[in-house]
Structure 1
């Protein structure tokens, strides 16, 4: 089990999010202000320091949190590939806003001196992603070390636990709120799972992205080198009328691997890609619809 092909193929939103987290964390770390990024109830509702709330979404408070956090964000790009960048953007917005609202409510209710300020970082999104990770990502490999049983999902859970308890209560509360936000998304509150942004907003992230190293460039169209006469190679002739033959070229291997990493059968993934003309998102929808029948 893995997140599919390496790199950010078909995951432009995740790419931008990871880069933003790294840059914000480094900038505030260099300035020595990383310990001031955590926000408190007083900061928001008494001092009106809304900037702290916004920055807390992107900047991690320490290097270990940055390492584990960006690794999990990078791995969870599998969900952007699965549901598409548009719906994944809705998931990011929903899980972040709902998680922050739950954190604010908890900060108001819980009277604990150790919770004066929560740690910073996209905890809501990361731990909301553990809900579909637990429910939808199948285990492909199981192994045993001494008397302990593990699977290929174990390291993701370990990384999540490390991040969850990195700042004890200050990180535990955002993590729990993130899980609750992911559960609400899973329950399709307000039909959130069917919502999409307008296409021009969704394509904005793609325009910001640069090509991944694993992308396969489109093949150049075949040119006829004999004047302007049409080429009939690859056609079957029936009588006097040439009939086109359906292409049997296999879909790209990285696209098949992406769908297989989501738990789909390899042959089914290949057939879906052929039907979807190698569009991974469309092929995913075809496979999900076939499973729902």
Structure 2
């Protein structure tokens, strides 16, 4: 499978997080502080350094970790498209905060002043592997050198590379992230019902808009007076009501690909988009409701 249409279409929160993570990684690297990143027992229980809590959430300590980490964050934008920016923001905050608390508990248990955990959004990345494993179906299988693989195998390989990049230093935050993702999946404390303030989410949407400010072009073949043509749909043409041509608005290939990347059947995705008038969020709700029946 793929992550859907390229770019951060319908994933403004993921885009903001990826840009912030890349910026902070480069910034600390230019300042020569990369080797000082990562939480340790001393940073938490003796010489408290609050800046390390922030850096451990966003900044990677090495270029290879940044490459694999940002690739996985970019790939997992599919979940924001699937559940919406609001719920995905809650998922991000829950995963980061809980995994950070678990890392602190792990350091308290180890009581080893020499142990320093890997820096970066490991909690969020490995929390996302839980819905990736449970909710994203395999869409293709193939063999390479006699080994059976699926379209999800390369994502797992990238995750393993990141998980064992620094051995114990990276394994601990990785497993803390998986535990956080599992608790979110189990709806611990009713977390999946919580909504994030829309006013804050609108900031992410504005930041992710193209600089040109232009809106996506509409297909004139299926539109009359900027209104999609549906069977029997009355529109105003020249000041007089008129019945649009007996056409069904054909969903855009981008929208269909977005739903297919979530694991939905292509034909079902197309029909849902027709009923939803090419609105991806509405079409997603239609498909999820039909599966729950």
User: TM-score if structure 1 supplies the norm length?
Assistant: 0.89
Match of 2:152 in 1: 153
1:175: how far off?
0.1
Question: Taking CA–CA contacts closer than 8 Å with sequence separation of 6 or more, which of the two structures ends up with the larger relative contact order?
Answer: 1
Deviations 1:91-113 (A, max 9, x none): 00000000001111111112446
> Contact (CA 8 Å) 1:9, 1:212: kept in 2 or not?
no
> Contact (CA 8 Å) 2:249, 2:277: kept in 1 or not?
no
1:231: how far off?
5.3
| Alignment partners' CA distance in 2, 1:229 and 1:18 | 48
Q: Does 1:140 align with 2:149?
A: no
1:216: how far off?
2.9
Based on CA coordinates, which of the two structures has the bigger radius of gyration? 1
Match of 1:166 in 2: 165
1:274: how far off?
2.2
Q: For 1:184-203, what aligned pairs fall within 5 Å after superposition?
A: 184-203=183-202
> Contact (CA 8 Å) 1:8, 1:212: kept in 2 or not?
no
Unaligned runs of 5+ in 2: 227-236
> Contact (CA 8 Å) 1:7, 1:212: kept in 2 or not?
no
Q: SS in structure 1 opposite 2:4?
A: coil
| Alignment partners' CA distance in 1, 2:3 and 2:49 | 37
Unaligned runs of 5+ in 1: 236-243
1:281: how far off?
1.6
Cα RMSD of the aligned pairs, angstroms, is 2.2
| Alignment partners' CA distance in 1, 2:246 and 2:101 | 54
Q: Does 1:222 align with 2:221?
A: no
Q: Does 1:42 align with 2:42?
A: yes
> Contact (CA 8 Å) 1:164, 1:172: kept in 2 or not?
yes
1:206: how far off?
0.4
Q: Does 1:211 align with 2:220?
A: no
Q: Compare 82-91 and 269-278 and name the one that shifted more.
A: 269-278
